[in-house]
Amino acid sequence: MALASPAAMSPDASAGNAHRHPRWSGIGRRTPSPFRPGAAISAQSVKARARDLGADLVGIASAQVLNAFPPDPRWPQTPERISPYVKSVIVIAQHIPAGAFRCRTNTPVQYMDMLVLRKMDNVAYRLAEELERAGHPTFVVPAQETEWTLKRASYGRLSTRHLGVEAGLGTLGLEVNILTPEYGPRIYLTGILTELELAADHPMTEQVCIGESCSRCLYSCPGDAVLHFGIDKRACAEHAQEFGFSTILKFVDRIIDAQARGQGPDSLRAMARSRDHFGFWQGLLRVVGSFGDCPRCLAVCPVGDDYHAHLADPQKAIPEKTPEKVTLAKERQAARKRGEPGAGLNDWNIRWVGPEGYKGIVARQLQDFKRRQQARAAADQAD
């Protein structure tokens, strides 16, 4: 069973994961490791320790299952590709604070992303270190690094989204981000690979994403990159990575072309002093502009208590919404009703979308959120 903080959790949102335990300390508090060499280590104790170290969500996936079900069999992102000895993958998630999605520009989100990833890496390292000291070889793979040999660097060594689904944390949404009941898509995940065999969590079978009848991610996407439970990565990257790898390639091409045309040093100096070149330098320092994150689909997704508490009003209107996008959403909804699922909902991919379909988890969650808000207001008045 995946663990989450009670403040973000409703009884209905657990979707079959029976127990969720509170976080009782954070990453700044160095508590002794509960693991001892030679002593039995349970899945529950590992998840509790991850929470103790600062993880917002945690679940466990079986390496055997991950090996059997790679997201794209043509380019297998599997534990066995990395190490033949891995038995379990501990999946942790960190929430991106909602305040960053209330801003006018992408920069605060990108900077918060960097801080969230630093914290997540720290949590993952400390958990891996403690398990290894107890006698179980454990390591962490980069959460945001892609592998050049896997579809020209469009895939990472492991798909953390799919890890999260297999670990019972959520399901894939229309834009194929993982959506968790607690935080929607506003999270980052990483995998801690261990040779310790742990009881795996069960994936959620109910679709967390509202789907075609919502389509807020489709409406908000500035690059029209949201497909039918899929994503046009190239179109997405143009907005998510203003100073990313493709922009660097275009910049280098301009320099090569300028030299080939015999342009003088003044032209090259102008390129060197351009906004693009400055963006590359700044991205090296603090990832701002080079980080893969356009926040629009994350900000408008109505899943999660953080959305209800902080984003529902500022993100209610979607300026990018057009009649053409509305028509496209209706066409996709009709196609699904006719049983024409398309590539994103085929027999292989439906495993990660939620084979039961959407059954109202977001509506139930919102009702529970309102009940808790009312109870809190009543308690404040009583005081």
**Over pLDDT 70: what percentage of the chain?**
86
Q: Which pLDDT belongs to residue 97?
A: 97
Q: Which pLDDT belongs to residue 285?
A: 62
CB 53 within 8 Å of CB 148: no
Helix axes 233-240, 245-260, angle to 10 degrees: 80
Q: Which pLDDT belongs to residue 270?
A: 84
Edge to edge, the sheet with strand 3-4 lists 3-4, 57-62, 88-95, 187-194, 138-140
Considering Cα of 92, then 291, then 306, then 16, what sign does the dihedral take? negative
Contacts of 45 (CB under 8 A, 6+ apart): 34, 35
Cα-flanking dihedrals φ and ψ of residue 92, to 5°?
-115, 150
| Residue 242 C-beta-side C-alpha neighbours within 13 Å | 18
Report the range of poorest mean pLDDT among 191-195, 271-275, 364-368.
271-275
Q: Which pLDDT belongs to residue 292?
A: 60
Tens-digit pLDDT profile for residues 320-330:
999 999 999 99
What is the C-alpha to C-alpha distance for residues 113 and 100, in angstroms, rounded to an integer? 9
Region 189-196: mean pLDDT is 98
Q: Which pLDDT belongs to residue 149?
A: 73
Tens-digit pLDDT profile for residues 204-238:
999 999 999 999 999 999 999 999 999 998 888 88
Sequence ranges of the domains in the chain: 3-208+352-382, 242-286
What is the C-alpha to C-alpha distance for residues 274 and 332, in angstroms, rounded to an integer? 42
What is the C-alpha to C-alpha distance for residues 120 and 311, in angstroms, rounded to an integer? 24
pLDDT higher than 70, residue 303: yes
Report the range of poorest mean pLDDT among 1-10, 139-148, 352-361.
1-10
Q: Which pLDDT belongs to residue 23?
A: 41
Q: Which pLDDT belongs to residue 138?
A: 99
- Angle (nearest 5°) at CA 176 between 94 and 73: 105
The larger pLDDT score, comparing residue 74 to residue 343, is at 74
Q: Which pLDDT belongs to residue 153?
A: 65
Q: Which pLDDT belongs to residue 289?
A: 47
Tens-digit pLDDT profile for residues 82-103:
999 999 999 999 999 999 999 9
What is the C-alpha to C-alpha distance for residues 44 and 52, in angstroms, rounded to an integer? 12
Residue type, 36: R
pLDDT higher than 80, residue 146: no
Burial of 113 (0-12, 13-18, 19+ CB in 10 A): buried
Region 353-382: mean pLDDT is 93
Contacts of 237 (CB under 8 A, 6+ apart): 244, 246, 292
CB 55 within 8 Å of CB 79: no
pLDDT higher than 70, residue 16: no
The larger pLDDT score, comparing residue 312 to residue 7, is at 312
Contacts of 54 (CB under 8 A, 6+ apart): 23, 25, 26, 27, 94, 119, 122, 123
pLDDT higher than 50, residue 18: no
Torsion of CA 374, 377, 378, 382, to 10 degrees: 170
Q: Where are the alpha helices (DSSP H) in 229-360?
A: 233-240, 245-260, 265-272, 275-286, 296-300, 305-306, 323-337, 350-353
pLDDT higher than 90, residue 48: yes
What is the C-alpha to C-alpha distance for residues 169 and 14, in angstroms, rounded to an integer? 9
Q: Which pLDDT belongs to residue 340?
A: 84
Cα-flanking dihedrals φ and ψ of residue 214, to 5°?
-95, -70
What is the C-alpha to C-alpha distance for residues 373 and 90, in angstroms, rounded to an integer? 33
Q: Which pLDDT belongs to residue 114?
A: 87
CB 14 within 8 Å of CB 5: no
Region 332-359: mean pLDDT is 92
Q: Of 118, 66, 123, 57, nearest to 92 (Cα)?
A: 57
The larger pLDDT score, comparing residue 44 to residue 241, is at 44
